Structure 1
Amino acid sequence: MEVSMENEPLKKGYKRTEIGIIPEDWAVTTLEQTTVPQRPISYGIVQTGPAVANGVKCIRVVDIVNGNIKDDNLITTSEEISNAYKRTKLKNGDLVIALRGKIGELAIVHKEIEGSNLTRGIALISQKKRFCSEYYKQYLSSSISKSRLQNLLNGSALQELPIATLRGFKVTVPSTDEQHAIATALSGVDALIAALDKLIAKKRAIKSAAMQQLLTGKKRLPGFGGNWEKVKLGKLFSFKNGLNKAKGFFGYGTPIVNYMDVFQSPVIYASNLEGRVSLSKAELKSFDVKKGDVFFTRTSETPEEIGIASVIFDDPVNTVYSGFVLRARSLDDRLSDRFKAYCFSSTFIRKQIITKASYTTRALTNGRILSEIVLPLPSKPEQDAISTVFFDMDAEIKALESRRTKTQAIKQAMMQELLTGRIRLI
């Protein structure tokens, strides 16, 4: 693992190798030399054929998620086809790596999927007992190893990590005890990250459930009662398509609200916009952005991604919006800006947007369609109370996400030190 410049000073007890400076008592070998000869590094089944009821489960690239194998949606193949690829039948503790798509993604096989097989996009790394699979999972998933692997990909349009390249990939070999010590330290941090991921997912699920209740009036907050008005969006907003310009006009000039700004967050601060476009005064006037404007994603390959909404929360200066989004500008003050950030996310609203969308080669919505969407409308005081609940939930989720980011950064620093032998645990 290349971890240092060639002219980095060499400390006592360390040596230079073709993959960087490592402790003198560590060795360098190829990944192939760490594996069981009877089960060499190999890719899986080329054609799994039709699904077979109660057949042999097969792992695809998409089944490797965050360093683990998701086994809730595995495809199956016949015993006959699987037996033709006996070498890649999985055993507990085997290491697997993606050769295509999410290239370099790794996971360790757990007991519940022992006996399953692999598809063509994944390779088996079945290591000898003196090599710790968890250590090599951490080693190969480090940023520097991934960079090295990236540089070794084939040059075709469909990039792939060749088996021969993987077999010849150079790795470090600490003692078995030190491999296990390093793996234990790093996997402990992984467990903390996984726990944070689980907690974040739980908080998001709670928020989603609350949105379906509070944004439809099925559940009311204390102190509120009475029926909600149901209003078509065309009575609340005027809609306008965004700016379309040639590619050469982008990258400099005036701030612009782009598709991903809307898609990624229910709230946009114009002061944080990164997109820029060069335009005329007439275009600036025609496609201007104001505080409280709501933007909807207009088109996507999937219907689930159209009509996603986001509201401008600050006072923009000389800001415009892209042709891939629609601007909805309020006709009156019946909707608070804070409520706008959430009211379009309920299942009730999303189903209307998706079912009313048009479909050609892409899913599409427009101002005419959105004008017919019916919104349950509480009083302004109840809007503020509801939005406060969701703002508090978002703050809690963001705090957990920040903690996860910091934990991930700590792990990266630990990997840099432990996987190079700069810090020794034994």
Structure 2
Amino acid sequence: MSNQVAEVSAKYLVEAAEKAVPVGYKQTEVGVIPEDWDVATIEELAGIIDPQPDHRTPPESSNGEPYIGISDFINSKEVDWTASRKIISKAVDKQEKSFQLQKGDIVFGKIGTIGVPKFVPQVPFRFALSANVILLQPKNIEPVYLMEFFYSELFQKTLKSELHSTSQAAFGMNKMRLIELPLPPKEEQTAIANALSDVDALIRELEKLIAKKQAIKTATMQQLLTGRTRLPQFALREDGMPKGTKPSELGEIPDDWEVHALGSLCGYQNGKAQEQYFNSNDGYKVISIGNYSESGRYIETGSYIDKQFKNEIGRFVLSCDDLTMILNDKTAVGTIIGRVLLIEADDTYVMNQRTMRLTPKEGVQSKFLHFLINSDSVHKRIVGMAKPGTQIYVNTDDVLEFNLIVPNSQYEQTAIATILSDMDAEIQALEQRLGKTRQIKQGMMQELLTGKTRLIKSSKEVIHE
């Protein structure tokens, strides 16, 4: 009876496995792939070179040639040549005798920053590769296809499982040789590479456009928030003559603007540690140090306080048009210290420690103040008055005494804030489009690099037609 049960079970498992693999596909070590695809190792598809096999850093030279590792890549196309380590020319000569860099070669971080593969740049001068990378020279594979595989979910899972820890994470030559990947026919590799490259080009264009819009916004803020450029409706006196300027402790400012201490523009309240009430499900959204971005945007962290604790924390619940300023920084550099968030909903957010509530008084427009305090020139002044430490900080009294220049007219404050808000909205729309395009790219990689979606018909499909 037990043998019969075993036979039935085995038959059932075989049938289930067959049903799990679609017609025209096969189960392999790297998952389900098309029947006309192969599985190959990196060793079979690319030359694998250790650029510095003795792992000794060559002697440095102030007049030497660049010694490039993964950390020197700003992005996939650019290298920070000026900041890279410089080594003696003999060390570059030694590498050139061992191997020649070619178009389509890939460098792959093997120590510290693992992975993050980059194409070797083509430049009109010599350089050497550091000991912290592996050099791959594709032979029997489309280089872009191989690069896309390294960024795929399949490889990233493999990488995580293979990493081992010594003094720091490392991924050695032997592990690289044995990595397996799905391998379509060459024509399909090229089609996949072209499709993904087209999306990459769109992503790069969106990134450039966002950077351009950010630069325009920064320049506009610098002009409008200092009064150097006046909006037409506020630029002339009643007699039609241009408005003048006057000296102040913050330099030359418009006649109808004034210098005010922040404490005279806003009421204030310091936050309090609320961690004992935290949950990760629902309730008031917590405003804490991790919620501040470098540009003054709110970052969602998933920390909440249940509204059943309103009696305990109610006086720290924020109102619409409140501003919250961060008084500490995560580092000694000061990227977020003094940044403010604009609260745009009642009974939704609650302050935690290291945060100060600023409630604009009558005649002070909250959005204007939000842009003004987050502007580069004001932020630099706040960082300049911060107290030193592993996490620099500012005192409440210093914040309240901090001087700002503000238009006397609330209408002008509103007009400036509206222009900057419109620019912000345009940038955020582009960023959302960029994020969606990156998601599309990830979805395409999952479909194309596993053969779930085919760009080239298989030979069997062609014969059948």
> TM-score w.r.t. structure 1 length?
0.87
Matched, 1:126 2:137: yes
Which of 261, 265, 275 aligns to 2:303? It is: 275
Which of 50, 65, 76 aligns to 1:67? It is: 76
Amino acid at match of 1:23: P
Q: Secondary structure in 2 aligned to 1:183?
A: helix
Contact kept? 1:69, 1:108, Cα under 8 Å: no
Please report how far the alpha carbon of residue 35 of structure 1 lies from its aligned counterpart in structure 2 after TM superposition: 1.9
CA distance in 2, matches of 1:289, 1:78: 60
CA distance in 2, matches of 1:189, 1:145: 20
Q: Secondary structure in 1 aligned to 2:49?
A: coil
**Cα pair distance change 1:46/1:387, threshold 3 Å:** farther
Contact kept? 1:251, 1:275, Cα under 8 Å: yes
Which of 46, 49, 73 aligns to 1:40? It is: 49
User: 1:49-68 alignment to 2 at 5 Å?
Assistant: 52-68=61-77
Q: What residue in structure 2 maps to residue 310 of structure 1?
A: 341
Contact kept? 2:294, 2:335, Cα under 8 Å: no
User: 1:196-275 alignment to 2 at 5 Å?
Assistant: 196-225=206-235, 226=243, 227=255, 228-245=257-274, 249-251=278-280, 254-263=284-293, 266=296, 274-275=302-303
Which of 292, 298, 301 aligns to 2:321? It is: 292
Select between 401-410 and 382-391 the one with higher mean Cα deviation: 401-410
Q: What residue in structure 1 maps to residue 450 of structure 2?
A: 420
CA distance in 2, matches of 1:114, 1:34: 28
CA distance in 1, matches of 2:435, 2:400: 40
Amino acid at match of 1:373: F
Select between 401-410 and 42-51 the one with higher mean Cα deviation: 42-51
CA distance in 1, matches of 2:354, 2:293: 11
CA distance in 1, matches of 2:442, 2:231: 44
User: 1:170-185 alignment to 2 at 5 Å?
Assistant: 170-185=180-195
User: 1:2-401 alignment to 2 at 5 Å?
Assistant: 9-36=20-47, 39-40=48-49, 46=55, 48=57, 52-72=61-81, 73-83=83-93, 90-112=101-123, 115-128=126-139, 130-156=140-166, 158-225=168-235, 226=243, 227=255, 228-245=257-274, 249-251=278-280, 254-263=284-293, 266=296, 274-277=302-305, 283-300=312-329, 301=331, 302-317=333-348, 319-330=349-360, 332-378=361-407, 379-401=409-431
**Cα pair distance change 1:44/1:134, threshold 3 Å:** farther
Structure 2 portions without partners, runs of 5+: 1-15, 236-242, 244-254, 457-465
CA distance in 1, matches of 2:17, 2:426: 46
Contact kept? 1:44, 1:117, Cα under 8 Å: no
Q: What residue in structure 1 maps to residue 461 of structure 2?
A: none
Please report how far the alpha carbon of residue 27 of structure 1 lies from its aligned counterpart in structure 2 after TM superposition: 1.7
Contact kept? 2:327, 2:337, Cα under 8 Å: yes
Q: Secondary structure in 2 aligned to 1:96?
A: strand
Contact kept? 1:46, 1:120, Cα under 8 Å: yes
CA distance in 1, matches of 2:342, 2:350: 14
Contact kept? 2:294, 2:339, Cα under 8 Å: no
CA distance in 1, matches of 2:424, 2:153: 30
Q: Deviation string for 1:304-358 (max 9, x for gaps)?
A: 32111111111125x421213222233x223212213311122331121011111
Amino acid at match of 2:66: K
Please report how far the alpha carbon of residue 138 of structure 1 lies from its aligned counterpart in structure 2 after TM superposition: 0.6
Q: Secondary structure in 2 aligned to 1:338?
A: helix
**Cα pair distance change 1:210/1:50, threshold 3 Å:** farther
Please report how far the alpha carbon of residue 191 of structure 1 lies from its aligned counterpart in structure 2 after TM superposition: 0.7
Structure 1 portions without partners, runs of 5+: none
**Cα pair distance change 1:255/1:88, threshold 3 Å:** farther
- Measured on the aligned residues, the alpha-carbon RMSD in Å equals 2.9
Amino acid at match of 1:192: L
Please report how far the alpha carbon of residue 215 of structure 1 lies from its aligned counterpart in structure 2 after TM superposition: 0.7
CA distance in 2, matches of 1:28, 1:7: 20
Select between 260-269 and 118-127 the one with higher mean Cα deviation: 260-269
Q: Find the structure with the greater CA-based Rg.
A: 2
Q: Secondary structure in 2 aligned to 1:403?
A: helix
Number of equivalences: 415
